[in-house]
Chain A
């Protein structure tokens, strides 16, 4: 590939000053991005009547961690974290299983109607969730469940119902990404397996899935974040306050009339913590995630 250069320059390393400029720019951007969050943390450390008096942009008279302990106990966060796990972990696992198989069928097997399927599934993910609320609610109240699965004895107000809606909703996006990714895996692997007479399941589970590890890691991080942050479905499809996931339960810190915003800030920080930790821990997988999918398009 030939590219004509207008101003020939030393092709090796860039000059130092430019690198400094780069750092300055990136630092400014990063600080600009962190500042609002830092303000929220700062507010959560100050008593409400102080910030109400002085405004949020002022020097502190008093800094305290009280709000954190208060949020932790008043909103009973530990229990709600557990609820979230009960919903999100099966949600992510099921979504990825179902989506990877579907993507495999669409991308690697020449099944008829695969294009329509992909369009239908992906478009399903694009739908605004609000569109589905009323019919979904009605259907959920009509589907009975045995008591051991749901103490409300229906899909409405049950963990299973929430998991199901998350799986169905996130499924489309995952199929889209994974189908894209799988198309980039060299055909030869499949061809070789075919010669060996491997079945569909073997080709999916033994041959394709191991190659999908990076994209699975990326998607699970994303899906975890999305399902974790969802509050709409829990609001609409749950009626027991003690079964709500943590994101929705945060509202318990909001009063009818009086809301101590600084307490709410502390609570929000506690709720945001798990997703921040997941991102930090899985950072590498996350960034590497879509790698293969983007090279050989």
Chain B
């Protein structure tokens, strides 16, 4: 089946429309506006957005309002649907600019030729980002395809007041973590909140144990399908995790992360490995009581040098009709002032630009930024660091099966390895 046929036919149609002076509705009202001039009017830029919830939506609206070089039109599709449809979306009739994720998830589509190379944009904005951010925006061909906008770190969250009451201290090693968990059990507190009904939260736990134990490089190459899942190193990760299972909140597969977060807020559980968005489950008044520490060291060779901190940002679709305008818009998104609008409205995110003004950050945001700046390696989270089909059709069911039967590690790993071979062909 020739995928290119429809595209060229559509382009032909468009061409015909333009030749005969028919207003091309496809590109919205701005498509017949004058060619981009040096002074400013870049026509219309369309944006495909997954920011359907109230706050992110408001953020995008506000940021885009500050963009004066072109008129903009936003097509919002709810977050989940957008993600599910990304494949068909990019092959169909995508907008010029679209929201997406950094790392492997970006590279996957860049490699298929569905995104526009924006290395020239990066020559201008490069100085605003650290190398880690640039790496996450770079495709396998060494060109940039992505502009980071905001991100959030994963860590172990807890309520300061509860810890003070009981005299708990932040653990620095796995042994200290285990000892702390024992103490909590003695105090009738479930040590580690846990929920995996939706399938992805457990990935955070797997990621961090793997990175602490085997280091970032191993983790990344495992994610890219280059390491075997039956490797003793992987088995060790699951063994360690199984050792911690008795401290995890039971019946995790029927619980949403929101419910687990509520148990943390109500001091029924002691700590919770999750992204910074956990703050959204806390009432305004309690947010200052929320704090976190990075997952303790397991292997001294790697210390605590890596964390998960997924980056959200923007890309240009290969079918974009107004690439000039789109690039100008990306530069606008890269500006610290744009990103600060987001961090102000949403306490769960941090600005990706290193030039961003952190003075307006909440205490939690400041600590988050500090955590990330100390990390040598930033991973994007399991489902963003590997092939999407592997993450959703293999890893989610597998991790859930581990959660329900932690003792069946060997057969599980063998099955993952087999399925991996079918996907990474």
Contacts and interface: CB of A to CB of B under 8 A. Distances in A.
A, B assembled together: yes
Given A242-B75, A252-B76, A257 B277 contact: yes
Given A235-B85, A254-B80, A257-B280, A74 B54 contact: yes
A156 B13 CA distance: 15
B88 A239 contact: yes
A147 interface: yes
B25 interface: yes
Given A49-B283, A242-B75, A141 B92 contact: yes
A151 B77 contact: no
A268 B74 CA distance: 25
A258 interface: yes
Interface stretch (B3-11, B130-138, B157-165, B185-193): B3-11
Given A49-B283, A251-B80, A236 B88 contact: yes
Contact of A52 (B52, B79, B262): B262
B171 interface: no
A56 B58 CA distance: 30
B24 interface: yes
Contacts, number: 105
B303 interface: no
Contacts of B1: 138
Interface string B64-96: 000000000001111111001100110111100
Contact of B10 (A144, A259, A261): A144
Interface string B278-300: 00110100000000000000000
B84 A153 contact: no
Interface in B86-113: 88-89, 91-94
Contact of A157 (B9, B93, B258, B277): B93
A246 to B, nearest CB: 13
A258 B75 contact: no
A152 B94 CA distance: 10
Nearest to B9: A144
A241 B77 contact: yes
Interface string B13-52: 1100100001011100000000000000000000010101
A19 interface: no
B199 interface: no
Contacts of B76: 241-242, 252
B10 A255 contact: no
A137 interface: yes
Interface residues of B, number: 44
Nearest to A153: B26
A52 B84 CA distance: 29
Contacts of B81: 235, 248, 251
Given A49-B283, A256-B79, A257-B348, A151 B26 contact: yes
Contacts of A258: 53, 258, 277, 280-281
A142 B62 CA distance: 37
Contacts of B85: 235-236, 239
Interface residues of A, number: 34
A254 B14 CA distance: 36
B75 A153 contact: no
B26 A147 contact: yes
B91 A141 contact: yes
A144 to B, nearest CB: 6
Contact of B25 (A52, A141, A147, A156): A147
A27 interface: no
B56 interface: yes
B373 interface: no
Contact of A256 (B5, B50, B75): B50
A53 interface: yes
Contacts of B14: 153
Contacts of B52: 241, 251-252, 254-256
Interface in A62-76: 74
A154 interface: yes
B266 interface: yes
A244 B85 CA distance: 14
A142 B13 CA distance: 12
A153 B10 contact: yes
B10 to A, nearest CB: 7
A65 B13 CA distance: 50
Contacts of A52: 258, 262, 265, 281
A291 interface: no
Contact of B53 (A53, A240, A255): A255
Contacts of A241: 52, 75-78
B315 to A, nearest CB: 16
Contacts of B22: 147
A235 B108 CA distance: 22
B157 to A, nearest CB: 14
Q: Which of A152, A244, A258, A259 gathers the greatest number of chain B CB atoms within 10 Å?
A: A258
Given A154-B93, A157-B93, A141 B6 contact: yes
B408 to A, nearest CB: 30
Nearest to B26: A153
A255 B79 contact: yes
A61 to B, nearest CB: 14
B77 A239 contact: yes
Nearest to A144: B13
Q: Which of B17, B24, B91, B92 gathers the greatest number of chain A CB atoms within 10 Å?
A: B92
A254 B9 CA distance: 37
Contacts of A256: 50, 52-53, 56, 79
A256 B84 CA distance: 13
Interface in A249-285: 249, 251-252, 254-259, 261
Given A138-B1, A251-B80, A239 B26 contact: no
Given A249-B78, A252-B76, A254-B79, 8 more contacts: A52-B258, A142-B9, A147-B26, A154-B6, A154-B10, A236-B85, A241-B76, A257-B275
30 contacts: A52-B262, A52-B265, A138-B3, A141-B92, A142-B6, A147-B25, A152-B26, A153-B14, A154-B93, A156-B92, A156-B93, A157-B93, A235-B84, A239-B48, A239-B77, A239-B89, A239-B93, A239-B94, A244-B77, A251-B78, A251-B80, A251-B81, A254-B53, A254-B78, A254-B79, A254-B80, A257-B275, A257-B280, A257-B348, A258-B53
Which 9 residue pairs spanning A and B have beta carbons closest together? Answer: A255-B53, A251-B78, A257-B277, A241-B77, A258-B280, A256-B79, A142-B6, A147-B25, A252-B52
